[in-house]
Amino acid sequence: MQHFPAYLYYLNPLAEAICFLISLSIFFQAGAERYLKYFSGFLFINLLLDADTSYTAFKGINNVFVNNIESLLVVSFELYLLREIIAGKKAKRIFSYIFLVYPVVTILNIFFLQHISTFHTMTYSLGSLLIIAGCIYYFWELFQQRTSVDLVRQPAFWISSGLLFYYSVTFAQFGLVNFINKMPSNVIQTLFTILVIINTCLYLSFTIAFLCRLKTHRSTSM
């Protein structure tokens, strides 16, 4: 088990905790999308799971099974988010099927193919590709719109941007994680540090998604 500077284990839960606390503002925003309220609740569950995996990793305790379950829940929920964000009816229907089928395929892989003692790289990579495809489709829909949209104030834009960046960058790293774990410790620490930074950027984009529609008032002096 690799041991890295303690602060690296704290940054992810800290970023997620801040994002969750700010997400509670969605319950005080009139006309907020329903999926954002579900998202806030999910962030709390994810925070608990990630705090557990970060703590056990820091203590050198094997947490592969919990990581498998956490990544299953995260990818499945993010597929649901994309289903809610996408406007096309046919695409929504396709992502509804994906949202239902993906957890089943992943569970079968975890318990019967790659087993619970190994990170489920095959189905995680599949989920990453599906999320990337969903984000690209969302941006394609934006380009097809004939009316202008204030993207800065669109929660869906910030969520999709964060997801596209995160999974595009980390796809190879998680897909090869079982191989990477056998590499020299200095290489693993570098990759782990990069992953922490990218994860922080992801939760920053989520935080902006919850705040972007808040109205700000400028004071004027007479």
pLDDT at 164 over 50: yes
Region 81-110 average pLDDT: 95
Q: Tokens standing for 51? A: 């705090």
Which pLDDT belongs to residue 173?
Answer: 80
Contact 164, 201 (CB under 8 A): no
pLDDT at 184 over 50: yes
By CB neighbour count within 10 A (0-12 exposed, 13-18 middle, 19+ buried), where does 5 fall?
exposed
Mean per-residue pLDDT over the chain, rounded: 89
Which pLDDT belongs to residue 220?
Answer: 39
Query: Can you give the length of the chain in residues?
Result: 222
Which pLDDT belongs to residue 3?
Answer: 61
